[in-house]
Amino acid sequence: MVAKLKGQYGSGIREASTYLGQNYMVVEPSIIVELLQILRDREQFDYCVDVTALHYPQREKQFDVIWILYSFPRNERIRVKTMIADGETVPSSVTVWPAANWLEREVYDMFGIRFDGHPNLKRILLPDGWKGHPLRKDYGIIQQDQEWVQINLGIESGQ
């Protein structure tokens, strides 16, 4: 499968490997949606398990965005990863799997990564007016949006 995809995309697929028996691929952000579509239609990865992200503040391309896919017919999982810099956008995969809707919203909420073409990209767990994205590594564990807390909860601090 990987050989076939590599033949098609060449250097678009930067790495394809296995760790602890789990397959993963690192690809360029530009081909991500096309690749996910092919994985769904041609390789039968019909179920999008999860969309999530990782933050590496020291890296030039700070964020990893990860899709975890599963195939019912093959009983296999694969992770597709792409790397982007802070402020860059990723194309949304909602057109491929409607399941990605809330999952991408959560990634946006927690990391501030914007998904291009998402139909309703707004915060999901935190309140709409909140400032900051808590799962970034530079966001402290007891940090909060003081201003929001004072205005909306009427208290000095939530701590």
Residue 90 carries which side chain, given as an amino acid letter?
Answer: V
Residue 133's closest CA among 145, 116, 119?
Answer: 145
Other Cβ atoms less than 10 A from the Cβ of 72: the count is 10
Q: At what angle do helices 2-9 and 32-41 cross, to 10 degrees?
A: 140
All residues at 6 or more sequence positions from 122 whose CB lies less than 8 Å from its CB, including other chains: 105, 108, 128
Interface map 85-104 toward other proteins (x if CB under 8 A):
------------xxx-xxx-
Burial of 113 (0-12, 13-18, 19+ CB in 10 A): buried
141 binds other proteins (CB under 8 A): yes
Interface map 31-70 toward other proteins (x if CB under 8 A):
---------------xxxxx-x-xx----------x-x--
Binding residues with other proteins: total (CB under 8 A): 35
Pick the stretch among 2-10, 85-93, 132-140, 148-156 that binds other proteins (CB under 8 A): 132-140
18 binds other proteins (CB under 8 A): no
Looking at beta carbons only, is 120 or 150 nearer to other proteins? 120
d(CA 92, CA 83): 14
d(CA 31, CA 54): 20
Looking at beta carbons only, is 32 or 68 nearer to other proteins? 68
153 binds other proteins (CB under 8 A): no
User: What is the closest distance, in whole angstroms, from the C-beta atom of residue 35 to other proteins in the complex?
Assistant: 18
Binding site for other proteins (CB under 8 A): 19-20, 22, 46-50, 52, 54-55, 66, 68, 72, 75, 77, 79, 97-99, 101-103, 106, 110, 123-127, 134-135, 137, 139, 141
